[in-house]
């Protein structure tokens, strides 16, 4: 009889369902988790919500096989250490999404109509009707940064208010945006034009503190900012200063730590809640049901579709997944931020063909760096592309071409005209090698370090001007590749440098050589 430990306040549906299937379940939210673990060292399944699962917790449970996060986010679980100990970690994506989406709407309406303050005032016997003049949501402009599952649900929940929705998402396909009725635009336009801005992005090295003074200064006086995502994405001091000047309304539900004690945003939050986004009866029940169903399917049917720290299948070298990521990231950079891919076409040669589904996750990560900090499974990646409205097509290949163990990845964006960025690569002598980018063949670039890509109409002296401008800033050139496309009369120069080329210098070089496309691409592969 497998022992399941649930040291959290989770709907008893999970315990009942697992018990009915013959599992020995301990559901105890009152006893400290540390004490429960000491008392149950034979635990094979650990189901948690926001509790931390550290290496110490994993080591204290030598028979542990599966950790289930009753929710989507798994940043509180050391998934890499779990993988080392051969412990699978599973989440329950989508269980809490509607709860968070509805909370966003609730915060907007509560702040617009002064619900909290007016309630307090009226209970005190006051009648301050003129003090609590509100405003309506109907007909306003709402900006949504991050159109994943929660962001898309926010759009649907707001539809009855006849709002104009501006959206930003680096990988949502235009077709999906059109279906949702969202006008895709830049973050800057959202902050300058929206009456209400709601954030739905993860916190990572790229997003931490990204919402700062320059963006806040663009906001309309009295505009509202709602954060039910992660606390670290907002620069609190910048918001504090901007709020004083522009009377920004701030609604917040997330903090660096879910615990009692003073909150640093208390002086700037018009409404603040104790991380209640997923704290609904329905979300708790959904998470409980999914936790139990996925646990049963995992042990009884071998279903691992929601395991977030999968190991590689037998026969697949991890280098090829890394190659798929690099090729996709390079093509994404080549397309430019102004073009969101709506279709991805892949070709896998040799034995790689049988692992094509396992390349979907690194391809997704190449589009959005935060997608896969560990390897995701094929079904998870398929769900990602479906949710983003991006079509992923694996082409049949002709192995007689002699490409060996290689792959080609093409990103397609737009309709009239279609913008395409494609790259081919392989692994040779245990090193990644990019052999072609678009029509520029025989590139043979090892994508390690910092690379400046410059495409231009072929003319004498261009490479010299590029080198000269780099030299002026004491940037050393490690390698240069310069293939040509004879059909178009264009050249592609790829300069490998000892350090990353600053953005201002990239722009200067682009102007000096009349570049058709120029961008910096760094890869620590």
Lowest mean pLDDT among 36-50, 67-81, 172-186, 331-345: 67-81
* 231/197 same-domain check: yes
In a domain, 443, yes or no: no
User: Are 429 and 488 part of one and the same domain?
Assistant: no
Q: Are residues 493 and 376 part of one domain?
A: no
**Predicted local distance difference test score (pLDDT) of residue 373:** 45
What CATH number does the domain containing 295 carry? 3.40.50.720
Residue 256 inside a domain? The answer is yes
Domain count along the chain? 4
* Residue range 18-71, pLDDT digits in tens: 999 999 999 999 999 999 999 999 999 999 998 999 999 999 999 999 999 998
Instruction: Please check whether residue 307 is in contact with residue 381, taking contact to mean a CB–CB distance below 8 angstroms.
Output: no
State the pLDDT at residue 370.
Answer: 65
Q: What is the mean pLDDT of residues 360-369?
A: 87
Average pLDDT, the chain: 93
| pLDDT tens figures, 124-168 | 999 999 999 999 999 999 999 999 889 999 999 999 999 999 999
Same-domain pairing of 294 and 339: no
Domain stops at, among 438, 463, 491: 438
Asked if residue 132 lies in contact with residue 114, where contact means CB atoms within 8 angstroms, the answer is: yes
Half-sphere exposure of 404 (CA within 13 A, CB side): 9
> Which pLDDT does position 415 carry in this prediction?
80
* Residue 445 maps to a domain: no
Place of tokens 């059109």: 178
- Confidence band (pLDDT; 50, 70, 90) for 106? very high
Q: Residues with Cβ < 8 Å from 174, sequence gap 6 or more? A: 184, 340, 342, 389, 414
Sheet containing strand 271-272, strands side by side: 183-184, 164-168, 141-145, 196-199, 224-227, 249-252, 271-272
pLDDT score of 221? 97
Note the pLDDT tens digit of each residue in 128-140.
999 999 999 999 9
Same domain, yes or no: 157 and 223: yes
* pLDDT tens figures, 247-279: 999 999 999 988 899 999 999 999 999 999 989
Which residues form the domain of 393?
Answer: 310-438
My answer on whether 327 and 188 are in the same domain is no
Note the pTM of the prediction, 2 decimals: 0.74
The full 3-state SS of 490-509, as one line of letters, equals EEEEEEEECCCCCHHHHHHH
Query: Does residue 278 belong to any structural domain of this protein?
Result: no
Domain co-membership, 268 together with 131: yes
């Amino acid at each position: 009889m497998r022992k399941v430990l649930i040291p959290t306040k989770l709907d008893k549906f999970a315990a009942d369902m697992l018990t009915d299937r013959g599992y020995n379940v301990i559901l105890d939210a009152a006893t400290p988790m540390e004490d429960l673990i000491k008392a149950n060292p034979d635990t094979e399944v650990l189901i948690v919500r926001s509790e931390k699962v550290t290496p110490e917790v994993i080591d204290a449970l030598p028979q542990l096989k599966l950790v289930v996060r009753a929710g989507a986010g798994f940043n509180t679980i050391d998934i890499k250490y779990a993988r080392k100990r051969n412990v699978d970690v599973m989440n329950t994506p989508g269980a809490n999404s509607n709860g968070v989406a509805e909370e966003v709407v609730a915060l907007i309406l509560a702040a617009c109509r002064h619900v909290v303050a007016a309630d307090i005032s009226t209970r005190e016997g006051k009648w301050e009707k003129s003090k609590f003049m509100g405003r309506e949501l109907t007909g306003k402009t709402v900006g949504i940064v991050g159109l994943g599952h929660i962001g898309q649900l926010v759009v649907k929940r707001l539809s009855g208010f006849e709002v104009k929705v501006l959206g930003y998402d680096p990988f949502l396909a235009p077709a999906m945006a059109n279906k949702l009725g969202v006008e895709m635009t830049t973050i800057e336009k959202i902050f300058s034009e929206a009456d209400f801005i709601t954030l739905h992005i993860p916190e990572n090295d790229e997003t931490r503190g990204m919402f700062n003074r320059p963006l806040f200064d663009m906001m309309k006086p009295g505009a509202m900012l709602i954060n039910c995502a992660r606390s670290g994405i907002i620069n609190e001091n910048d918001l504090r200063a901007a709020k004083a000047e522009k009377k920004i309304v701030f609604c917040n539900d997330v903090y660096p730590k879910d615990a009692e004690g003073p909150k640093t945003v208390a002086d700037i939050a018009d409404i603040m809640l104790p991380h209640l986004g997923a704290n609904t009866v329905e979300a708790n029940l959904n998470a409980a049901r999914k936790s139990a169903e996925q646990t049963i399917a995992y042990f009884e049917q071998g279903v691992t579709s929601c395991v977030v720290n999968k190991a590689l299948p037998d026969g697949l070298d991890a280098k090829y997944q890394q190659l798929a990521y690099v090729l996709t990231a390079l093509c994404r950079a080549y397309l430019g931020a102004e073009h969101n891919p709506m279709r991805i076409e892949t070709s896998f040669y040799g034995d790689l063909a049988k692992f094509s589904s396992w390349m979907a996750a690194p391809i997704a990560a190449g589009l959005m760096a935060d997608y896969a900090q560990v390897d995701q499974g094929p079904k998870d990646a398929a769900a990602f592309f479906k949710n983003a409205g991006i079509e992923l097509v694996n082409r049949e290949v002709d192995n007689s071409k002699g490409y060996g163990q290689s792959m080609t990845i093409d990103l397609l964006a737009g309709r009239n005209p279609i913008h395409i960025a494609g790259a081919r690569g392989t692994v040779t002598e245990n090193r990644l090698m990019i052999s072609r980018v678009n029509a520029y063949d025989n590139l043979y670039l090892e994508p390690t370090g910092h690379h400046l890509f410059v495409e231009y109409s072929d003319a004498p002296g261009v490479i010299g001007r590029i080198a000269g401008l780099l030299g002026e800033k004491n940037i050393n050139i490690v390698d240069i590749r310069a293939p040509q496309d004879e059909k178009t009369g264009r050249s592609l120069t790829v300069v490998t440098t000892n350090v990353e080329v600053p953005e201002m210098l990239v722009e200067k070089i682009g102007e000096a050589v009349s570049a058709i496309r120029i961008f910096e691409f760094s890869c620590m592969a």
